Amino acid sequence: MIEIKQFSSAFLPSAKSDEYLPNIGIWTRLGGFFLVGVVGVAVSVAALTRYHQTVKAPGTVRPAGELRIVQAAMQGTVKKTFVRENQLVQQGEPLVIIDDTQLQTKKSQLQGNIQKYQLQLTQINAQILALDQQIATENQRGERVISSAKAELNLTQREYADRKIAVSSEWQEAEANINIAQNELQRAQADFKSIQANLKSAEAAYKAAIVKRDRYQIIAQSGSISQNQLEEVQLAATQQAQVLESQKATLESQKQVIQQKQQALTAAIARRAKAASALNPSNAVIEIAQDKIATEQASKQNNLARLRQEKQSLLQRQTEIKDTINNTEKELKQILSDIQKTIIRASATGNIFKLELRNPGQVVQLGQAIAHIAPKNTPLIIKARVASADIGKVRICRLEKIADCQQGKVQIRFSAYPYPDYGTLKGAVREITADAITTANNSSIPAYYDVTIEPEVNYLQNNLQKYYIQAGMEVTTDILAQEETLLTFILRKTRLLTNL
């Protein structure tokens, strides 16, 4: 620079400023002093005047605390909607009905099936009762028949025993008769021999008498003996002849007696043989009676087994039908439960904050949110969305009363109530989310922080009439941030002042 100045002074001629510029007028000088004064005053005023910096953020009125979410308990098509947003509902009140046509059809089918199965069960119960009666009747009939057969067997055995005793007695009697007949025959034979001997003796005596008679006749002819002696001899011969005839007759008679005794013996032997043949009577009748008892017992057991088998089959069928009825009733119970689920009811008493349904016919999925309910008497708050660049200016008011807050004050304007007519509400910042919130579905929306603002009252007033705010209303919030001067604001806006 020194060299340049030396060069300039050596080769260029020096000149004065007044040789080129005109003289400044008095008014120009006064105007300049005035402008300098105005600028100085403006800078002084800007440096001394303080104002509250505000952060504008959109927001929504929401109930404090958690919302009650009403979810669809089943998949289906919306048939009818009974409510709208911001409507007061009671707990259990129907909100939406899902089309249950298929469920009602299934319900009717199941009820018809249950009635059919119950009718079958009634018929099977009647058949089982009839089989029980048949079993009892068959048991009684079998017992009667068996008892009758046993009585008949006892009678047959008694008759058999009596017959056996009678036959034994007859045989013994026949044996005794044989002995008697034999004894009588022997006596008759002995008598016959005696009669034969007597006959021979009579014949000898007769012959002797004849000889004597003949001799006496010869002698009588000679007169040696008297006629009386001859007659006596003749009489004796006649008597001997009579005795002989008598002995012959007796012998013939004894022969007949012997024949009779032999016939009697033969008859006794025949009776003994007959008695002997009947001495061991056949027990075929007893065996027949016993076989009859066994047959009746087997018939009874077979009939009872057949009836019990039929009853067992019916009992098995009865169990199957009962199981089918139970399963059908369980299915019907599930269908009735699903039908109840088609009526979506309010889970709490409060206002419908948000209704997710748009129109009837909309298809909802299981677990899909249907409505958001703000519980009754829940205080309302404002959820403001503050940009990440402005969140550092927002402060939280820790005081209980909003009127006492020195920082975190908020002015709230409602889009539903124009502030020129209804004014604004005062509020205070109560909470700021720890992390920034980003929208995954829309990347063009910048990240923001959720700021919870508590309004001082829940109504606006116009012409002495109160207009209560409702959940879901859109608001614009002016959050009073840090206090600064106008000069600081101008320098910060012109990037001449930073926090570095």
| pLDDT per 10-residue tile (average), the chain, 500 residues | 47 54 70 82 71 83 84 87 86 88 90 92 91 87 81 77 73 77 79 80 80 77 73 78 81 80 79 67 70 82 87 91 92 90 87 82 87 84 89 87 86 90 90 84 78 91 86 88 68 57
Question: Which of 347, 345, 373 shows the shortest CA–CA distance to 88?
Answer: 373
245/374 same-domain check: no
The CB density around residue 74, as the number of other CB atoms within 10 Å, is 18
What is the spatial distance between Cα 82 and Cα 98, in angstroms, rounded to a whole number?
12
Main-chain dihedrals φ then ψ at residue 424, nearest 5 degrees: -125, 170
285 and 144 in one domain?
yes
In terms of residue numbers, what domain contains 473?
48-100+350-493
Burial code (b: 16+ CB inside 10 Å, e: under 16) for 177-195 equals bbeebbebbeebeebbeeb
Claim to verify: residue 369 and residue 409 sit in the same structural domain: yes
Phi and psi at 81, nearest 5°, equal -115, 130
Whether residue 259 sits in one domain with residue 119: yes
Cα separations (Å) of 161 from 158, 175, 282, 286?
5, 21, 11, 11
Q: Is residue 164 packed enough to be buried (19+ CB in 10 Å), middle (13-18) or exposed (0-12)?
A: middle
| DSSP conformation class of 379 | P
Distance CA 458, CA 466 (A): 9
Distance CA 399, CA 428 (A): 9
**Do both 211 and 158 map to the same domain?**
yes
Beta bridge pairs of residue 351: 88, 374
Given this model, what pLDDT does residue 109 score? 94
Residue 8 lies in a domain: no
- Looking at residue 319, what is its pLDDT? 92
Residue 58 pairs in a beta bridge with 476
Residue 251: which region, alpha, beta or left (left: phi > 0; alpha: psi -120 to 50)?
alpha
Task: Report the SS3 class of residue 442.
Answer: coil
> Does residue 21 lie within any of the structural domains?
no
- Considering the domain architecture, whether residues 148 and 286 belong to the same structural domain is answered as yes
- Out of 274, 297, 320, a domain closes at 297
Q: What b/e readout covers 347-356, taking b as 16+ CB neighbours within 10 angstroms?
A: bbbbbbbbbb
Overall residue count recorded for the chain in this entry: 500
> Could you tell me where the beta strands, DSSP code E, fall in 99-253?
none
- Pairing between strand 474-485 and 409-414? antiparallel
Q: Rounded to whole angstroms, how far apart are CA atoms 45 and 32? A: 20
Give the span between the Cα atoms of 176 and 378, in whole angstroms: 132
Q: Between vectors from CA 398 to CA 395 and to CA 402, what angle results, nearest 5°? A: 90
The number of folded domains in the chain is 2
Domain CATH number, residue 286: 1.10.287.620
Identify the CA nearest to 355 among candidates 69, 100, 93, 74: 69
Q: Is residue 469 part of a domain?
A: yes
pLDDT at 51: 63
- Last-in-domain residue among 268, 297, 326: 297
Q: What is the pLDDT of residue 259?
A: 83
| Res 1: pLDDT | 43
Residues 230 and 89 in one domain: no
Q: Can you tell me the distance from the alpha carbon of 226 to that of 219, in angstroms, rounded to the nearest whole number?
A: 9
List the 363-364 sheet strands across, edge first: 343-345, 94-98, 76-81, 363-364
Give a yes or no: residue 89 inside a domain. yes
Structure tokens at 39: 């600028």
Has residue 202 been placed in a domain? yes
- Looking at residue 22, what is its pLDDT? 60
Would you say residue 328 lies in a domain? Answer: no
Decide if 175 contacts 276 (C-beta within 8 A): no
Given strand 350-355, what is the order of strands in its sheet? Answer: 68-71, 369-375, 350-355, 88-89
The CATH number of the domain holding residue 485 is: 2.40.30.170
Does any domain span residue 264?
A: yes
One domain for residues 95 and 176: no
Tokens of 427: 């509020």
Q: Do 218 and 360 belong together in one domain?
A: no
- DSSP classification of residue 67: -
pTM: 0.54
Give yes or no: residues 431 and 459 share one domain.
yes
Of 184, 199, 193, which is closest to residue 260 (Cα–Cα)?
184
Residues 283 and 400 in one domain: no
Other CB atoms within a 10 A radius of the CB of residue 371 amount to 25
The pLDDT assigned to 329 comes to: 92
Claim to verify: residue 92 and residue 134 sit in the same structural domain? no
- pLDDT for 483: 64
Q: Is residue 395 part of a domain?
A: yes
